[in-house]
Amino acid sequence: MALQDVSGFQDTPIHTSLSSLSTSSSPPTRRPFPLSHGTTTLAFVFQGGVIAAADTRASCSGLVACPSAQKILPIHSHLLVTTSGSGADCMLWERILAREIRLYQLRHGRRLSITGSAKLLSHMLHPFKGTDVCVAATLCGWDVEELFYVCSDGTRLQGELFSVGSGSPYAYGVLDGEVRWSLNEEEAISLAREAVYRATHRDAYSGNCVDLFHITAQGYCRRDREDLREEYHRKRERKDAGSHATSLVLTLGVGKRRSVEREKIQRGGVKWHGVE
């Protein structure tokens, strides 16, 4: 995490992993390279569904390894997972989660609920507690109007608003003031964008663009990725022009909304995505 890098904290694993991934029983070898960390992701529930937003910067102790990473991964049309922590861990564990959920559906003939998926992920990560696997995921979906936060240290929480990552304190500041159940869709989307924007402005390890997903009963739909540099310029112009705006200017996003095969979803069943 960003704070860890800045304060020079060296984490040492308490014990080596006992699973098939472990090798020797001597003290683990120290890695000579850094792994990617640092992010801002958030998700909240409102009357029109669930909004999930994240920045797109993948940083690697001071270097931006990728300015266009994707931190919100769809598992199926009604379940998204936001990733935070180490990039490789999140990518692989969510691939494993998607596989397990798909197998559950094939074996039992019904979709695993979000509560069940969260428990599954939490139990799969448990053998790696104490190692440096770092996964902090928020499962957002539709069957219950709640979010689940699952972390590799064993936390599994349900709630209606979560923000995860090094930029999360800044995002919480924006969200806690404005999130209400009665928001309409445009307001909710603007609020999510604003929260990510503020977090990327203050947190060095978050930045570049913002990804936004909106989940409803019909499935998820994804807004085009927006570069936050444009947002910064727009705000500067408005401030210079001496705006008479109200306390929190919720700018309506310029990005277009693009629904993901809505017709296919409405015909019944869940749309699965190839696990890339």
Which residues sit at the interface with other proteins, rule CB under 8 A? 16-17, 21-24, 28-33, 35-36, 58, 60, 63, 65-66, 69-70, 86-92, 131, 133, 276
- In Å, what is the CA distance from 62 to each residue of 33, 34, 171? 12, 10, 21
Instruction: Tell me whether residue 17 or residue 122 sits nearer to other proteins (CB atom).
Output: 17
The count of other CB atoms within 10 Å of the CB of residue 264 is 12
Task: Give the torsion through C-alpha atoms of 252, 244, 183, 53, to 10 deg.
Answer: 40
- Point out the catalytic residue in the list 12, 16, 39, 40: 39
Q: Which is nearer to other proteins, 130 or 169 (CB)?
A: 130
- Shortest approach of other proteins to residue 8 CB, angstroms? 9
């240290």: which residue's tokens? 153
Between 133 and 140, name the residue whose CB sits nearer to other proteins.
133
Backbone angles phi, psi at 135, to 5 degrees: -130, 125
**What is the nearest approach in angstroms of other proteins to the Cβ of residue 241?**
21
Q: Which phi and psi (to 5°) does residue 171 adopt?
A: -65, -40
Question: Which CB atom, from 240 or from 276, has the smaller least distance to other proteins?
Answer: 276
CB-CB contact of 158 with 61 (8 Å): no
Q: How far is the CB of 19 from other proteins (least distance, A)?
A: 10
Alpha helices for 38-143 (secondary structure H): 87-108, 114-125
Phi, psi dihedral angles at 236 (to 5 degrees): -60, -45
The nearer residue to other proteins, 64 or 250, going by C-beta atoms, is 64
Read off the amino acid at residue 237: E
| Least separation in angstroms between CB 80 and other proteins | 18
In the complex, the smallest distance separating the C-beta of residue 17 from other proteins, rounded to whole angstroms, is 6
To the query of whether residue 216 is one of the catalytic residues in this protein, the response is no
C-alpha to C-alpha distance for 208 and 229, rounded to whole angstroms: 7
**Which positions are annotated as active-site residues?**
39
